[in-house]
Structure 1
Amino acid sequence: MTAQTAVPAPAAHEVVDDLVRGRVAGQSLEAPFYTSEEVYRRDLDVIFARNWIFVAAAAEIPEPGDYVTVDVGEYSVIVVRDDDEQVRAFHNVCRHRGSRLLPERQGAVGNIVCPYHRWTYGVDGRLRFAESQPATFDTTCFSLRPVHVRDLAGLVFICLAEQAPQDFDAVAEVLEPHLRPYELGKAKVAATYDLAEAGNWKLVMENNRECYHCDGHPELITAYFPLFAYEAEDITPRLKPLYDRYVKAAEALEKIRAAHGLPLTDHRELDTRVVGFQLSHLPLDGEGKSFAPNGGAVCRTLMGQVQDAAFGDLSLHLQPNSWFHLLSDHAVVFSVLPTSTGTSTLRTTWLVHPAAVEGVDYDLDALTAVWRATNDQDRALVAGTQAGCSDPGYVPGPYSMVEDDVEAFVNWYVTRLREAIA
């Protein structure tokens, strides 16, 4: 008998490469994209370590020495305001023997002092003190390692790569005039909380990128028109009365935007550039003011330079991990970070005018009620989808006509992975 030569199984990275190359446009991803440890490691390396990711509102670090720490896979990053009131970012690693410098999520420091051997750094990252060093020791060689950071009109992004994607400047130029009236950099944090999601980070993002399921958000759709990404030809008879109301509200909002001297053009470049984004200034139902029932206000003090309470919802999406809702009386900012193959963390932060007083200008429960409920409803949907994608019976299904932004997110994601393979 002739001995048969065993054919070696393909390496794990080759399996992922084949999945990426074989992705079918217009369909949900194959199960391993949500369940494979090798894909998760690829996501951390290609998506989260090489692209601009949203990590905080600048309002979270209002004073010099204020900081937040952000964990991205095995990375930990300090985002701090320096003595010149500029936002900086550094690897949260001591230059001596690697100790974690700041273990807390948020705080304030005069200097950054290593808890191990007391090496001391300024908030500009420079090493200021290291005991028992030889006369030849040069402190300038041991500053904290910097991380790329950008403060876009009060929204803070970092990039862990040596070379950050260059098109951030072009995107910032488009977005900044739309964001300017809200003065997010001067806002006050009213609340923030983290929600543990039992789902892969991509499922959290995909869920956010469509309103096909918005009937499952009764608190939200008393003010939010559940028509995001719908075109006139997508409107069913059931949605026709709602759509007619939306058209009238959109016409009224455009007049208000024009009176403010704002750009009237929305933008959608979700998968046509590295820093993918979408910006839409959407009307709200009812009173058109905010996320209270029937579009009512939730805060008496308007944001920044906004002069009209019926200012709709400036909705902004940025790839790969964030979305934002800016309203006349508050803003809500969201970020998603992966924590394992099948888990992630959704952080939600509510911002108000710095002069707004809790209990006088706003009630905290009323301010946060809609998105706490909506996030929790989405948490259950994401967990159910993660369970389904982990089931041997799962096969990819087709996206509907109103899930274009889900397809755009997935296409952006797969494009980045393909570029990395190339």
Structure 2
Amino acid sequence: MPKYDAEAVRALIARRRPGHALESAFYTDPEVFRADMDAIFDQHWIYVAVECEVPEPGDALAVDIGASSVVIVRGDDEQVRAFHNVCRHRGARLLPPGPSIVGNLVCPYHAWTYGLDGALKFAEHMGEGFDPSCHGLRPVALRSVGGLLFVCLADTPPDDIDDLAQQIEPYLAPHDLRNTRVAHSADLIEYGNWKLVMENNRECYHCTPNHPELTIPLFAYGFGFAPEELTPEGQEQAERYETLRNASHAAWEAAGLPSRLIEHLDDRPTGFRTERLPLDGAGESQTMDTMAACRVPLGAIRDKAVGGLHFWTQPNSWHHLMSDHVVTFTALPLDKGRTLVRTKWLVHKDAVEGVDYDLEKLIDIWNVTNRQDADLVEMTQRGVADPAYVPGPYSPYTEGLVEKFMLWYLARLRAHLG
């Protein structure tokens, strides 16, 4: 039985006004948070890591998703697998969160020892009737999509991950994520409900007043605007962007770089969106000077000015892929009012820090943008908890993708509750 009041959650869903923000309880009620973990994070494909983080046999990575913990490990057969990070003896965690290098997975409590394929290899003092084959690690569904690793805790994961992979892998392939490495990783706790983190990511209404650094390479008009409110200068900028976007798409597609918009944010269990977008200035990378931060290109890309490929997945990830580096983000709920945002910057595996790239230049825009977003999320969490809060309407021009996130979330919640 669920550890929350399903009827109360259904009532909240039924009261929601289309095109409006959610009621306070969606962000502040522990019952709703438990429903979210049960219906969303325990049932859907969750982006957790990059395949290059486990490049060799014995490389392992432990990731927490709510109360669950998952171990991702590359076996001696080069296959990457995922298991519940729970010893089959008395439940001890096998590995702490983060990366490890292991010969076997050995429980630190009583030394039950598992192979990299999850099979129990050694358990002392268990007697003659004990059958090791019945006590291997419990597997977790895992899928690499072009080098991005997704796990699903459900016994029967959504099968549309296959179609997502078929559509998105041609977009990711030129960046050759499997031959990258993590140049830098940063964990930031945002003091807000996970949905506020995702809502904030799904719009750029807030970008111009709050992200002066990010809007150096990114066009403020790239995600919508109210045409009747534009000044002559704004109209000129909007037209310049649309002309550049159309011309860039045609040129990139002709060069073998899939670029045009694919959007399935609210019509399938594994919602996603992708498009290659032009960048301002030199058009090379998401850096302060809009030029490439790393001189070693990714994959077979030789033209530095191939814009930025953005790729979003519901419920918890967004990614930016340029010619020289990649930035990946995953949002993992900690409790109703805290969310872990994990950011990783990837460069070509042969790139050398201080020789091929300057780390500060590589990370500065998203480092400062993440902190700005964390402040905005915390400010909003405080506001939605205020008794005076009344859900307001979304902008039809700049918050349409927030509405699509909400439609996806509510549909998945409703489907799970029955």
Measured in 1, the distance between the counterparts of 2:18 and 2:383 equals 20
Is residue 302 of structure 1 aligned with residue 297 of structure 2?
yes
Is residue 408 of structure 1 aligned with residue 401 of structure 2?
no
Following TM superposition, by how much is the alpha carbon of 1:231 offset from its aligned partner in structure 2, in angstroms? 6.6
Task: State how 1:88-237 maps to structure 2 within 5 Å.
Answer: 88-215=81-208, 216-230=210-224, 233=227, 236-237=230-231
Measured in 2, the distance between the counterparts of 1:150 and 1:270 equals 19
Measured in 2, the distance between the counterparts of 1:179 and 1:13 equals 39
Q: Which amino acid aligns with 1:152?
A: V
Whether the aligned pair in 2 keeps the contact of 1:94 and 1:114 (CA below 8 Å) is yes
Measured in 2, the distance between the counterparts of 1:49 and 1:100 equals 19
Is the deviation greater in 233-242 or in 258-267? 233-242
Q: Judging changes above 3 Å, is the alpha-carbon distance between structure 1 residues 352 and 408 closer, same or farther for their aligned structure 2 residues?
A: same
Whether the aligned pair in 1 keeps the contact of 2:249 and 2:260 (CA below 8 Å) is no
Measured in 2, the distance between the counterparts of 1:232 and 1:138 equals 67
Whether the aligned pair in 1 keeps the contact of 2:259 and 2:309 (CA below 8 Å) is no
Q: Judging changes above 3 Å, is the alpha-carbon distance between structure 1 residues 221 and 88 closer, same or farther for their aligned structure 2 residues?
A: same
Following TM superposition, by how much is the alpha carbon of 1:242 offset from its aligned partner in structure 2, in angstroms? 2.1
Whether the aligned pair in 2 keeps the contact of 1:113 and 1:119 (CA below 8 Å) is yes
Measured in 2, the distance between the counterparts of 1:259 and 1:353 equals 25
Q: Which amino acid aligns with 1:343?
A: R
Q: 2:390 aligns with which of 363, 388, 395?
A: 395
Q: Percent identity?
A: 50
Partner in structure 2 of residue 293 of structure 1: 288
What stretches of structure 1 of length at least 5 have no aligned partner?
1-10
Partner in structure 2 of residue 5 of structure 1: none
Partner in structure 2 of residue 53 of structure 1: 46
Q: Which amino acid aligns with 2:240?
A: R
Ranges of 4+ aligned residues in structure 1 off by more than 4 Å: 231-235
Measured in 1, the distance between the counterparts of 2:251 and 2:79 equals 34
Measured in 2, the distance between the counterparts of 1:228 and 1:136 equals 65
Task: State how 1:34-45 maps to structure 2 within 5 Å.
Answer: 34-45=27-38
Following TM superposition, by how much is the alpha carbon of 1:420 offset from its aligned partner in structure 2, in angstroms? 1.4
Measured in 2, the distance between the counterparts of 1:183 and 1:339 equals 32
Is residue 350 of structure 1 aligned with residue 345 of structure 2?
yes
Q: Judging changes above 3 Å, is the alpha-carbon distance between structure 1 residues 393 and 160 closer, same or farther for their aligned structure 2 residues?
A: same
Q: Given the two structures, how large is their TM-score scaled by the length of structure 2?
A: 0.96
Describe the superposition over 1:221-242 as per-residue Cα deviations: whole angstroms up to 9, x where unpaired.
1111122332784772252232
RMSD: 1.5
Q: Which amino acid aligns with 1:105?
A: G
Measured in 1, the distance between the counterparts of 2:98 and 2:112 equals 21
Whether the aligned pair in 2 keeps the contact of 1:60 and 1:189 (CA below 8 Å) is yes
Measured in 2, the distance between the counterparts of 1:201 and 1:154 equals 25
Measured in 1, the distance between the counterparts of 2:228 and 2:402 equals 16
Q: Which amino acid aligns with 1:28?
A: A
Q: Matched residue pairs, number?
A: 412
Whether the aligned pair in 2 keeps the contact of 1:256 and 1:308 (CA below 8 Å) is no
Q: Given the two structures, how large is their TM-score scaled by the length of structure 1?
A: 0.95
Q: Judging changes above 3 Å, is the alpha-carbon distance between structure 1 residues 292 and 28 closer, same or farther for their aligned structure 2 residues?
A: same
Measured in 2, the distance between the counterparts of 1:262 and 1:327 equals 12
Q: Secondary structure at the match of 1:410?
A: helix
Is residue 385 of structure 1 aligned with residue 364 of structure 2?
no
Measured in 1, the distance between the counterparts of 2:154 and 2:237 equals 45
Q: Judging changes above 3 Å, is the alpha-carbon distance between structure 1 residues 139 and 321 closer, same or farther for their aligned structure 2 residues?
A: same
Measured in 2, the distance between the counterparts of 1:258 and 1:95 equals 51
Q: Judging changes above 3 Å, is the alpha-carbon distance between structure 1 residues 360 and 283 closer, same or farther for their aligned structure 2 residues?
A: same
Following TM superposition, by how much is the alpha carbon of 1:263 offset from its aligned partner in structure 2, in angstroms? 3.0
Q: Secondary structure at the match of 1:107?
A: strand
Measured in 2, the distance between the counterparts of 1:331 and 1:325 equals 6
Partner in structure 1 of residue 416 of structure 2: 420
